[in-house]
Structure 1
């Protein structure tokens, strides 16, 4: 899995090593581990971008430290506790991409949800939400990394 960053490859390995039912459980656990927003965003939700492809309300913002391909990316998500699948998708992206370089984030293939084996467990509409999150993360990184 050399075309995905190591942290994301490890998540893919974890998901594909278990049954479909266990994948759902793993997804929910990652959602529970999603970090809370720092105050600078919690107090200013208008700074976050909505992801309308998601069935549940989710918002995200990236921070890019530095310029160019080696700039470091930080990811922040806001998803309600009553949207555990959406929180799980955000948890996957946070754990798999947070702290990577801009080049590494931009190189992540768009079929991450399929590689996780989630197509067997989650509706196509929900999978489109995860693709929407990744697309917005990449667009923000492109804009901010220069």
Structure 2
């Protein structure tokens, strides 16, 4: 995590033009691998590429409840778009955060709310993870949806 005065933007910038395109791209990327061990390695690599998360946000106010690992997220509305940042103390969870933020960060609150996190199940992620990790990623998805609802109401 960078120092408090770091100028690196911690928010994920989307690679794809829409949440639906991001979901499709993640599915295609996961399909390249023959087994779940290779997919896990790929997901861990995604987590390593997350922007640095400010240490000042690694606190209880930013902590996502319901996760076995420690997970922190920050959401802000800028220019009508929900910008998201996240981090975890677990490598695989950081990768799952990276996938979620790739889909949801930089989108309008309406697009976030219209993109059901069921894609996690559709991609086979929930079945491939332990029950605790599956519950944790569901908690992270709920946190993103709640941030979008707050932003939409603002």
**Shared fold by TM > 0.5?**
yes
- RMSD over aligned CA atoms reads 2.1
Conserved? CA contact 2:59–2:72, under 8 Å: no
Q: Which of the numbers 27, 32, 52 marks the counterpart of 1:12?
A: 27
Q: Distance in 1 between matches of 2:59 and 2:126?
A: 32
**Contact (CA 8 Å) 2:48, 2:94: kept in 1 or not?**
yes
* Equivalence map 1:1-146=2 (5 Å): 5-18=20-33, 19-37=35-53, 41-46=54-59, 48-66=61-79, 71-80=80-89, 83-146=90-153
CA shift at 1:115, angstroms?
Answer: 2.0
Consecutive unaligned residues of structure 2, counting only runs of 5 or more, are: 1-18
Structure 1 segments unaligned to the other structure (5+ residues)? none
Q: TM-score, normalised by structure 2?
A: 0.77
TM-score normalised by structure 1 residue count: 0.80
Aligned residues: 135
